[in-house]
């Protein structure tokens, strides 16, 4: 399983080019970046060169299409998706992810069927370029009541949704924080096939009851109470071989220079990978 970096948790790390360089320096193997932007600034060959020189590949791009609002906004964004996919494919990236909020102000069933259709179309376009779509279920309990109606938040619900979407290239973005706050288990991971997982996030939780952990109260891997060793070992056991990308969402920007934060991230990965028997 590849160690991956996103921007979340690195403070003012700067450009995606800087992130690539930092990942290379601190022993990370993948980066979650904007593939299209990288190509626009550097050309396809330049972008490939940057990744190659850093010895890193792209873990995932983000889904730029806004599928949660009006049909007009959806169609507007959709027109750009094939370009995103083409750029990602040109750089060897095979993953594109989006998150699913656990509640909605729309009537829940109606939103579910509209979003099913929209995400299917996104998956179909991505699939034409060999890219999978990862859906991230979101566990923190406090978010379940921010909007009027409960939506989907568990792994099981999300897998049922993926079956409803019905495209071969849709799977989970599986985040340790959401696994933990949902009260999911090691057995839940072991019930997965590796091809059901498009991307993985890790980060840690403070020592409060799981149902009180805040979405933007995340800690660096190995600094909290989540059983990341068990989480990683189970993913490895089922045969998952992709990125495990840090995503540290915090209420305040983390203190410390990017270098300090990178060193801290690296130490966290060393710790939890070792504990999982993966180092």
Binding site for its own copies (CB under 8 A): 75-76, 78-83, 85-86, 89, 104, 107-114, 116-117, 120-121, 124-125, 127-129, 149-152, 157, 160-161, 163-164, 166-168, 193-195, 239
Output 126 or 219, the one with its CB closest to its own copies.
126
Q: In the bound complex, what is the minimum distance in angstroms from residue 241's beta carbon to its own copies?
A: 8
Output 10 or 170, the one with its CB closest to its own copies.
170
Q: In the bound complex, what is the minimum distance in angstroms from residue 15's beta carbon to its own copies?
A: 25
What is the distance between the alpha carbons of residues 251 and 41, in angstroms, rounded to a whole number? 31
Beta bridge partners of 98: 135
CA dist list (Å): 83 to 39, 40, 42, 79, 129: 11, 11, 16, 8, 10
Output 8 or 119, the one with its CB closest to its own copies.
119
What the block records as the tokens of 176 is 């340790």
16-25 vs 258-275: helix crossing angle, rounded to 10: 50
Output 52 or 107, the one with its CB closest to its own copies.
107
Output 45 or 160, the one with its CB closest to its own copies.
160
Q: In the bound complex, what is the minimum distance in angstroms from residue 69's beta carbon to its own copies?
A: 15
Output 137 or 220, the one with its CB closest to its own copies.
137
Q: In the bound complex, what is the minimum distance in angstroms from residue 52's beta carbon to its own copies?
A: 21
Output 146 or 208, the one with its CB closest to its own copies.
146
Q: Give the list of residues 6+ apart from residue 88 with CB closer than 8 angstroms, or none.
A: 35, 36, 58, 61, 94, 96, 129, 131
Q: In the bound complex, what is the minimum distance in angstroms from residue 22's beta carbon to its own copies?
A: 31
What the block records as the tokens of 61 is 């791009």
108-127 vs 155-165: helix crossing angle, rounded to 10: 60
Output 37 or 194, the one with its CB closest to its own copies.
194
Q: In the bound complex, what is the minimum distance in angstroms from residue 27's beta carbon to its own copies?
A: 25
Q: In the bound complex, what is the minimum distance in angstroms from residue 157's beta carbon to its own copies?
A: 5
**How does strand 132-137 pair with strand 95-100?**
parallel
Q: In the bound complex, what is the minimum distance in angstroms from residue 79's beta carbon to its own copies?
A: 4
Q: Do residues 173 and 136 make contact, with C-beta atoms less than 8 angstroms apart?
A: yes
What is the distance between the alpha carbons of residues 228 and 230, in angstroms, rounded to a whole number? 5
């Amino acid at each position: 399983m590849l160690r991956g970096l996103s921007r979340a948790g690195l403070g003012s790390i700067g450009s995606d080019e800087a992130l690539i360089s930092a990942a290379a320096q601190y022993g990370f193997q993948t980066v979650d970046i904007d593939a299209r932007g990288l190509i626009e600034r550097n050309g396809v060959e330049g972008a490939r060169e940057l990744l190659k020189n850093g010895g890193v590949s792209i873990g995932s791009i983000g889904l730029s299409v806004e599928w949660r609002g009006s049909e007009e906004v959806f169609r507007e964004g959709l027109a750009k998706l094939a370009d995103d996919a083409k750029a990602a494919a040109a750089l060897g990236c095979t993953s594109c992810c989006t998150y699913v909020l656990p509640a909605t102000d729309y009537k829940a069933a109606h939103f579910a069927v509209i979003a099913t259709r929209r995400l299917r179309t996104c998956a179909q376009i991505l699939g034409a370029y060999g890219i999978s779509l990862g859906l991230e279920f979101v566990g923190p309990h406090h978010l379940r009541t921010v909007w009027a109606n409960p939506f989907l938040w568990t792994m099981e619900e999300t897998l049922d949704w993926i079956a409803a979407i019905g495209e071969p290239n849709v799977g989970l973005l599986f985040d340790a924080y959401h696994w933990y706050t949902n009260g999911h288990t090691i057995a839940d991971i072991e019930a997965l096939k590796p091809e059901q997982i498009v991307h993985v996030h890790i980060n840690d939780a403070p020592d409060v009851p799981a149902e009180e952990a805040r979405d933007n109260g995340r800690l660096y891997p190995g600094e909290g109470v989540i059983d990341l060793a068990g989480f990683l070992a189970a993913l490895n056991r089922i045969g998952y071989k992709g990125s495990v990308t840090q995503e540290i969402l915090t209420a305040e920007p983390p203190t410390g220079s990017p270098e300090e934060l990178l060193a801290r991230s690296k130490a966290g990965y060393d710790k939890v990978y070792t504990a999982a028997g993966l180092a």
